[in-house]
Amino acid sequence: IVPRVIGKDATAVEAIWTDLWRATATYNRGGIVTMAMSALDIALWDAIAKRATLPLHRMWGHFRARIPAYGSGCFRGSGGDGMIAKALHYKSLGYKAIKMQVAHTHDSQGDVDNVRRMREALGPDIAIMIDVNQGWSADVAIEIGRKIAPYDIYWLEEPVPADDFKGYMRVAQMLPMRIVGGETHFTRFDLRPFFEQPLIPILQPDPMRGGFSDLRKTAVLAETWGLSIAPHLFPELNVQLLAAIPNGAWIEDMGLSNDLFVDAVPVVDGMITAPERPGHGLAFKPEILRDCRVQL
């Protein structure tokens, strides 16, 4: 990747992305190669916006300033009590939605019990999102999905393996809650089956699996087919895109910004406000850069 971009016009983002996409075809698109492309793409967009002295969301055509965020990171490894404690912390900060993990255990009833307890703890006014992390087959997803449906589940995320598009269709047809996914797919090309069939109402593309260039195109495709997007992780980056499009649904937040960045992107009353600093507006704390330094 590096030899192909040295000396190139940094504003030619589309040309650079396309050239790298074609050049890396023989290295099996996806994985670390596409992630490296994505990091470069994000850096180029940041540089262009800084040169224009505009935040990215202004340069792309501002749509709104504030986007709803949900509290994520209620991991099953912390147990039912740990997940509930973290969810209640998010609620105390004003979040209107949280996401909890299930699956990857042999105790499906334990998952159902955790969901029930979560609803009882949060009350009726907080949206609960369930993340399966590809842990079920379609049959199991339908079985457990029916058991947790009475607890008013906002969405069921990645209920089946990412490449099981027929499974997605079966689950979406059989369950009442929203079925969502897309975080593990690389670029809009991997996401194409979600557009070709009415599988899910909300896509979750990851900015590190295509960069800003591809994420913007994915958002346009989603809007064309009547879908919303709720990108995976990276709230500090994703806020720039969702502030510039009409079909942004949610931003995922794990509360890590304060640990990483000089100027964090805070969540206030469950909403993230797009910063007005040029570019993506992010700068790592010096100690973070120091800890990540390597000797070549």
Residue 103 has a pLDDT of: 76
Distance between CA 272 and CA 65 in Å, rounded? 8
Nearest residue to 182 (alpha-carbon basis) of 145, 222, 212? 222
Domain range for 199 is 58-273
Asked if 110 and 137 sit in the same domain, the reply is yes
Asked if 129 and 166 sit in the same domain, the reply is yes
pTM score, whole prediction: 0.93
Asked if 183 and 109 sit in the same domain, the reply is yes
Asked if 149 and 252 sit in the same domain, the reply is yes
- One-letter amino acid identity for 176? P
CATH of the domain at 12: 3.30.390.10
Determine, yes or no, domain membership for 292: no
CA-atom Rg of the chain in angstroms: 20
Asked if 156 and 39 sit in the same domain, the reply is no
End-to-end CA gap in the chain:
18
Averaged pLDDT, 76-83 = 92
CATH of the domain at 235: 3.20.20.120
The structure tokens 């307890």 sit at: 117
- Inform me whether the pLDDT recorded for 156 exceeds 80: yes
Determine, yes or no, domain membership for 279: no
Residue 27 has a pLDDT of: 78
Strands 228-229 and 267-268 come out as unpaired
Number of domains present in the structure of the chain: 2
**pLDDT band at residue 215 under the 50/70/90 scheme:** very high
Determine, yes or no, domain membership for 256: yes
Question: What are the helix (H) ranges across the chain?
Answer: 2-5, 13-23, 31-51, 56-59, 79-92, 108-122, 138-148, 165-174, 187-190, 192-196, 211-224, 235-242, 257-260, 286-292
Asked if 50 and 64 sit in the same domain, the reply is no
